[in-house]
Structure 1
Amino acid sequence: MCGLVGGVWRQPQALAASVATAALGVLTHRGPDAGDQHHEPGVFLGHRRLSIIDLDPRSTQPMHAGPLSIVFNGEIYNYRALRDGLVRRGVVFRTESDTEVLLASFALDGLDCLPRLEGMFSFAIWDRDCRRLTLARDRYGEKPMVYYADADSLLFASEIPPIEVLAGDGLEVDRSALPWLFRFSYLPAPASPYRGMRQLRPAHWLQLDLDHWTTSEGCYYQLPAPPVSRPQAEISFDNAQAELRRRLTASVEQRLAASDVPIATFLSGGLDSSIISAIAAQVCGGKIAAYSVGFPEDPAFDESPFARSLAARYPQIEHHVIEVTEDKLAGFTDRTLAMLGEPYADASLIPTAYLCAHVNEKVILGGDGADEFFAGYGVYSAMLVSARIPSWIKTLAQLVPMHGNPAEIGNNLLRAAAFFRMHLGPTSAAEYLSWRSYATPAQIERLGFARTEAAALPDDFAGLDLATLRDILMMDIRFNLSADMLKKVDLASMQHSLEVRLPFLDSELVAFALGLPETFLISRGTRKHILREAFREQLPEDILGRGKKGFLLPIRKWMKSGRMRDELLDLAHGQSFLDPAAVEQFAGEHRAGRTDQSQLLWACYVLLKWQGRRASFAG
């Protein structure tokens, strides 16, 4: 796990050593163990290393093989099997690293090697003979790659700050992309906060021919379509459970084996991380650390009792509970946001990063991805229910006034009904957009954005038809998983030199899950049904019976009163990027409890903090 940065220039100009070193330096948190640079006329590759596989200094990057030079971020979990195949083809290796395996695979097969890689990665390979740069990213978007292109250069990195250093004052904010921050809490790929900058999409590659200054882009992997004969529809539920246990256990074992340093687990107390921790405890062959977070001041957010219940069941687990309070998070929140090269407004980033800051190991296993592949979110059940309602009943139901703030309703059933009514729409696409949105175009327009900008949607929503549960899952995987969930994991962990591995994102397991009958995923209103049943014997009953609970920050309360709310209002009145009156109005509505504006206010807070960081950087 590492950080990479680089660039190619149309003219063979020399990059100032101080600029290259500064760009690489801002990635030290991603790779504190080593760093190096490679320079040719018009070409720069830089790398910071977090040493996990093959700790020998010979595996430091940039790594070279003939005319090829690589900088690589991530892990190739099946590198040993790939290496054996390459040895049979005559390749001689000088290290035990997955980086050398990746470079040798590309040297022999070019882009055709990408579908064979099982892992999380982003990389850049410079071919000196062909004068061609190749960028690539893993299937599901675990590892980021951003790039900036203008008439004279193409710059790339694991994060935006190194590109800011290389580009100097040449970057301009793309205001038209920012409304998506308020609507979704993130900027979906390929959008970025700067003009001319893009996020490389998951499962995509980009190549630049330096001599002709032309680029090409392609996709090497698509989510698997269900077989025409749907053989898995004939599989029994018992056999499907056994197959799920086998595949997920194999994925955990593979991610444990691909490391020369100790590995821990996240243990939130929810179903997914509990399953991963239970499997890891059973197959690790010794002790394994597990990390949880507790909110002693906010019992409604505190899941540590469930984590303790799981840890008590397995003597192999050495359990660490990290307690979080508002006072502890105050300064930490500022430091976390200050390191973000882009505005990112999923508030669960903060407690996730806080937990990552207290992990002693370099590598940790997490449970992310299970919700998207095994139907864990409430939106899935709600949309399935809505799809069964006759259109005339839905039309009548939409005449019922909406509750202004469903989150404040104490009764669980009434609260769920109020949210269902809030997101009821004329089409499945409209309902999905409503469930995944935190602000309306009208609210965004009030903040000072043009009406067309506020209402614009990403290309992913063009012609969207979500007729089945599988359609909804596929949409979430393509749109929300990489841009939100996996981005959060990467940002939170790499700020603290921690690599997170996600066993649920094994490609064979993904293909298996997406081929299962819908009733295996949601049964009688119970989501992730097959996961619960497959691992029932390994988990305490109190975890099996729990509903979905996100790893949340109590921003609803904090935005009603306290330091964060006061600071937001101060920031709003000290700038002109957002309409201060609109921010104050939303804050007043939230404080009065008329509507829940917490996520919108948090997005304002994050954006204004990012603007302040940019101003400080430019200064």
Structure 2
Amino acid sequence: MCGISGVFSKENLEITKDIISKVNNVAKHRGPDAENYFFKNNFAFGHRRLSIIDLSSVSDQPFNMFGCTIVYNGEIFNYIEIRQELLGKGYQFQTESDTEVVLASYKEWGVECVDKFNGMWAFCIYDESQGKFFCSRDRFGIKPFYFIDNPQYFAFGSEVKQLLTLLPEHKANKKVLAEFIVGNEDYHEETFFENIFKLLPGYNLEFDLSEKSIKKWKYYEVKRIEVPKDFDGCLKKYRTLFESSIELRLRSDVKVGTCLSGGLDSSAIASLASAQYFKQTNQKFLSIHAKSFEKETDESYYANLVAENAGLDMFTVEPDKFSFSDVLEKVIQIQGEPFGGPSIVMQYFVFEEAAKQKITVMLDGQGGDETLIGYDSYFNMYLSTIPIVRSLIKYFNPSRKSLFRVNLKFAFFLRKFNGIIKRKLHKKRFSFLNESYFNRIDHTLIFDEALKHCKNDFLFQKFEMEHGIQKLLRYEDRNSMYHGIESRLPFLDHRLVEYSLSLPLAFKLKDNETKHILREMMVGNVPDEVIYRKDKKGFEAPSSFWNQYISESSRNISDSKILKDMIVGDMPKNKALEWRLANIAAWEKAFNVII
């Protein structure tokens, strides 16, 4: 896990150390262990290293071999197996790192090397013989890759903040802001800043150094695979894949721990990882829990049950409302872009505590809900697979001027059989938005795309994996990396994702119970009170903090030039909407954003 950067001058100007170091060191928190550079004519690479595998300096980057130079962020968890395959082909290795395995894989298999990888990555390889940069981002977008492509530069970095150093002004992207207000973001390559883009998950990018042009292509798409017909067979295979995913993600030369909210996903990971870790090291596995000071959002009872049952060494952080206020501006700086709720702040405290305990790798449960129909609103999505309901949805298809979050979960939540389905969603719901913002969202196009992917449970889960999880991964990456911690996500092993999505719906959703196969698998490993609980929370922030933050942000909101331009009418009273407006105002101030 590291921070990467690169700047190529299209005007054939020298990229000095002053230029590249400014870009690179904005992300110095991502790599506290080493700082290095590579210079070549009119371009330069920068790298900040967080040492995880092979801690020696010989594995520092930029790394040169086979006439190629790489800057790389992430981990290839199956690097040992790939290394063995390459040794059989006559390759020799100078280090024990996965970085060298990535370069050797590129040498052997070219751009198809990414098909071999089980992991998370964002990298750029300078291929001198081909006169190109080959860039890639992992299948689900766990690791970030941002870029600029303008008449002056092609440049890239791990965080959007790095690329701001190359722009004369920080201009807001009205389209993305409008989508954020609607409750919909991270569906495409645009960011909250004009002229800064992200490489989409499962995509490769090539930059031709002589033509000074880029091309992008999708190399991965979730596919349906064959699974056993019977539940017991499916359960056995699911356990095998899940345990294999955890085993791979425990590979490390530094201390490993896990997040533990008290929910099913984190409890499953913590329990199985603890058993594997103790078997490997004869030591207790470490876990971090965030305790809420409000009873209704506190999950510490369940976390303690899991920790005691699994023999975990659990550390608990309990931020008060003053702690939230103190770190909120810092979290906005860390994230670099607006975020939709205070749970992101709670997540910050978890990784802060992990850093205090000198944990460098943390497991977490992102992806469990998306792969196993874990959200309550998935019940409403399932209704859409019924022919008569599909017909009704088509009849009440919202117009281009309608307001709704163009996300399957929310779209079908709004269409529950409580009378809402009898009326269309009209623009008046967002009448407070300036037309110049609202008209940039193509609501109908996205709705039709969602409806197309709702023919069966596999397709609407696939749609959610490709669209709904991206912002969660962005939040996780920024919070963990700010504290010099690599976050690893066992549920997002691509083998497990494809298997989970291919399971019969009845094995995931049964008797009003989500994640059925995971619950059954964890019987005997996790306390029943956790397995069968229905009050899902996650690392949820105290509700009083919402109101406090919104109240304290009134000055920022009234001073915001962006909001003055965006808001033209009276807004409805809505806590989530008010949070988003306050967050935009704080982001505008933090990064000197202009309209």
TM-score, L = length of structure 2: 0.89
CA deviation profile, 1:101-130 (whole Å, cap 9, x unmatched)? 001111222101110011000001112232
Cα pair 2:5 2:20 within 8 Å, conserved: no
For residue 526 of structure 1, what is the aligned residue in structure 2? 513
Gaps of 5+ in 2: 397-411
- Which residues of 2 match residues 540-551 of structure 1 at below 5 A? 540-547=527-534, 549-551=536-538
- Could you say which residue in structure 1 is the equivalent of 2:74? 74
* Corresponding residue of 1:311: 307
Match of 1:382 among 358, 380, 383: 380
Equivalent-residue separation in structure 1 for 2:389 and 2:23 (angstroms): 56
Take 2:569 and 2:317, find their aligned partners in 1: how far apart are those partners? 35
Shift of 1:554: 4.5
Structure 1 residues 388 and 460: alpha-carbon distance in aligned structure 2, compared to 1, 3 A threshold: closer
Q: Distance in 2 between matches of 1:157 and 1:450?
A: 30
Match of 2:495 among 508, 511, 518: 508
Cα displacement (A) at 1:505: 1.2
State the alpha-carbon separation in 2 of the partners of residues 394 and 177 from structure 1.
30
**Paired residue for 1:446?**
432
Q: 1:52 to 1:442 in 2, by over 3 A?
A: farther
- Asked if the contact 1:442/1:454 (under 8 Å) is kept, the reply is no
Counterpart for residue 127 of structure 2: 127
Q: Which runs of 5+ in 1 are unaligned?
A: 399-415, 435-439, 591-596
Per-residue CA deviations over 1:318-361 (Å, capped at 9, x if unaligned) read 01111122111111111111223222324321111111111020
Choose the corresponding residue for 2:458, options 470, 482, 489.
470
- Residue identity in the other structure for 1:322: V
Matching residue of 1:104? 104
In the alignment, which residue of structure 1 is the partner of 2:95?
95
Contact 2:291 2:298 in 1 (8 A): yes
Report whether the alignment pairs 1:212 with 2:211.
Answer: yes
Distance change (3 Å), C-alpha of 1:556 and 1:458? farther
The letter for the 1-side match of 2:461 is: L
* 1:598 alignment partner, one of 575, 584, 590: 575
* Counterparts of 1:583 and 1:194, CA distance in 2: 22
Residues 579, 207 of structure 1: CA spacing in aligned structure 2 closer, same or farther, 3 A cutoff?
same
**SS of the residue 1:537 aligns to:** coil
* Contact kept in structure 1, 2:261 and 2:539, CA below 8 Å: no
Q: Deviations over 1:422-460 (max 9, x none)?
A: 795589xx9xxx9xxxxx865555143526536424966
CA distance in 1, matches of 2:545, 2:433: 21
Alignment of 1:175-574 (within 5 A): 175-184=174-183, 186-226=185-225, 231-232=226-227, 235-256=229-250, 258-284=251-277, 285=279, 286-296=283-293, 298-315=294-311, 317-359=312-354, 360=357, 361-385=359-383, 387-388=385-386, 390=388, 420-421=416-417, 425=421, 442=428, 444=430, 446-450=432-436, 452-453=438-439, 455-457=441-443, 461-464=447-450, 465=452, 466-481=454-469, 483-547=470-534, 549-551=536-538, 553-554=540-541, 557-560=544-547, 562=548, 564-574=549-559
Task: Report if aligned partners of 2:7, 2:20 keep a CA contact under 8 Å in 1.
Answer: no
Counterpart secondary structure, 1:23: helix
Secondary structure of 1:372's counterpart equals helix
AA aligned to 1:314 is A
- Preserved CA contact (<8 Å) 2:262 2:538: no
CA separation of 1:441/1:124 partners in 2, compared to 1, >3 Å: closer, same or farther? Answer: farther
Note if contact 2:550-2:579 (Cα within 8 Å) is conserved in structure 1.
no
Q: How does 1:141-152 map to 2 (within 5 A)?
A: 141-152=141-152
Deviation at 1:516, TM superposition (A): 0.9
Could you tell me how far apart the structure 2 residues matched to 1:325 and 1:610 are?
23
Using the alignment, how far apart are the partners of 2:487 and 2:112 within structure 1? 27
CA positional deviation for 1:383? 2.2
Tell me how large the CA RMSD over aligned residues is.
2.8
- Residues 437 and 566 in structure 2, CA contact (< 8 A), matched pair in contact too: no
> Is contact 1:573-1:580 (8 Å) kept?
no
Give me the identity figure in percent: 26
Determine if contact 2:147/2:199 at 8 Å carries over to the other structure. yes
3-state SS of paired residue (1:21): helix
**Distance apart, 1:155 and its partner CA:** 0.8
Look up the match of 1:114.
Answer: 114
Q: Residue 155 of structure 1 aligns with which residue? A: 155
